[in-house]
Structure 1
């Protein structure tokens, strides 16, 4: 996940340390804890669990952030970070949704149809997850390039503006 590289992702990478942080009420408020290491383990089929669809992964990523926003007050740093990361994730999900839906349609097999490949559903999901991750990485690169272009243009406009102000000031 590219979102796990974000500077604010640290609180969401591992399970919440309920004991270390002395969060005695955490499990009373959060009934289904989730974090990125748990998602990664589930994607790899560790602990005997495995995702059946990309939408399940999507749901668990959302759960990470909604849990953080539910437990923490809206002014708490973790709540604010979760809200921002959820917004970024949702934006990327909307961009990928047509591809996900297309892949889901491809995977639907009529009862009388014979599959034409030896690919298991788990392998197909893993491939789709990897393709989705690759696409997210590419989108992030493009966004970073656009951000850099905007910054450069703003700097140019600002320099031009300052130069004009200086010329105007010397004419006075």
Structure 2
């Protein structure tokens, strides 16, 4: 996300989500090649905060008809952007990365974790599972969704973030 404009990316992600009928999963990462990050105007030392602000800005765009966002690295006033995502409030956000703060990032602004294939990644997964609250059971999620009056897929609350690699699916009629 440190190499992408959040306003354009929000529109692109929402468009794919609409065209796919709510099947878009949005993976985000801070980038890791410092020269590349710098060439996109981001100081590599600030890449995590830039990513967070860009994701938060996109969440504002997706959930408000007229959106504003003000951070240290991202700022805009009263913009409109259409289409809005098919899934409400927006497609699942999968946060990439490893390290001691990844669980905090997933809980803060993501829905799931994309562990990076590195040595000892299984240790990171074990630690992540200890840190993050367990998601609601998929069968409970599917049965409650099947009994709802709407056929629109729903997004899990951030407090149920997981590292499953895929979002629970709502059965289609």
- The TM-score with structure 1 as length reference comes to 0.32
Return the structure number with greater strand share: 2
| Structure number with bigger Rg | 1
Return the structure number with greater helix share: 1
